[in-house]
Copies of this chain bind each other. A is one copy, B any other.
Amino acid sequence: MVIDRDNCLRILQENEEFLILSHEHPDGDTLGCAFALGEILKQLGKKRAFLCSDEVTADFSYMTDGIQWDEVENPVVVAVDVADAKLLGGLYEVYGDKVDLCIDHHLSNTFYAKNTFMEDRAAACEIIYELAVSLNVEMNLYLCNCIYTGLSTDTGCFRYQNMTASVFRIAAELMEKGVDFKKINKLMFETKSKSFLELEMLARETLEYHFDGKAALITITQDMYKKSGSDEHECHPITALPRQIEGVLIGAVIKEKNDGTFGISVRTEDGIDAAAICAKLGGGGHKGAAGARFDCDYEEGKKKLLKVIKNSLEGI
């Protein structure tokens, strides 16, 4: 059932025990939501616990350190920033059909929860912030830091296309309350691991331009992960790189999976449909970012990809 804010507030107010769930491979927004909601519920005198299928990485220790969760017996299960029950990862089997309340900002939410409070926002933490205001809890430094983490990470530090006036206004409120934005920005946006730098170097050495520089291609292999000590989870900024190059309309990254097959990520300029390109290779996605898997070896797959890209460039 889709519920409105008042009903969401009522569930939080009228129950005494909560189990908060974050999505697998937890990021700043799902964790910001979870720990902010934990603080809100604590202030309301409720018992609350937290589960996530994957480890919370050390860079979030400013949110997680010293937090005491409660023992809960028969809790209301709340999933935050979890668009699909399957994104609960290892918790899916036990909790997939037991989520009482989902608070989310993804339009792609599958409404797997008994009650879903969904708003189309840049970050789920925006929704949590507004719930905190409605519930009249103290917007203390800890709560500010949790909410800032979600707002900033889901918007690339206020830079992505999903930015809104509302996010800027909430950020202003958090700044006035002394949010540790310098520390958080440094951890989330400035620190680069040595292994990532190595991987990026190796990947960038494969950079190829095609079709008068209108397309750019990078390849990432399993061997590069081994050499750099990095892994697939650090790939994200590299995936964005080819399309960021001056004059490039279509950027693609070919990634070798650990089973030896290859997948591609395609990013395109406005006016070129990445999903259409990937559809021709058996994949799909969004207009600006899409993906597919090669059903053949690297050389043949690359040839197919370049042919589809060529056709796409000829169509504009």
A residues with a Cβ closer than 8 A to B are 157-159, 161, 163-166, 168-169, 171-173, 175-176, 181-182, 185, 189-194, 197, 201, 204-205, 207, 209, 213, 241, 244-247
Assess A191 versus B158: contact at CB under 8 Å? Given A165-B175, A172-B169: no
A306 to chain B, nearest CB (A): 19
10 shortest interchain CB distances as A-B pairs: A168-B172, A165-B175, A158-B158, A165-B172, A157-B159, A168-B171, A169-B172, A165-B176, A193-B246, A168-B168
Q: B182 near A161 (CB under 8 angstroms)? A: yes
Residue in chain B with minimal CB distance to A185: B159
In this complex, what residue of B is CB-closest to A183? B270
- Give the oligomeric copy count: 2
B181 touches A244 (CB 8 A): no
* Chain B residue contacts of A194, Cβ below 8 A: 209, 213, 245-247
A-B contact pairs, 27 of them (CB 8 A): A157-B157, A158-B158, A158-B171, A159-B159, A161-B182, A161-B185, A164-B175, A165-B173, A165-B175, A166-B172, A168-B168, A168-B169, A168-B171, A169-B169, A169-B172, A190-B244, A191-B244, A191-B245, A192-B241, A192-B244, A192-B245, A193-B246, A194-B213, A194-B247, A197-B204, A201-B201, A201-B204
Chain A interface, >50% SS class: helix
Using CB atoms, name the residue of chain B closest to A166: B172
Contact of A159 among B175, B189, B192, B204 (CB under 8 A): B189
- Chain B residue at minimum C-beta to C-beta distance from A240: B190
Chain B residue numbers with a CB within 8 Å of A168 are: 168-169, 171-172, 175
Q: Which residues of B contact A166 (CB under 8 A)?
A: 172
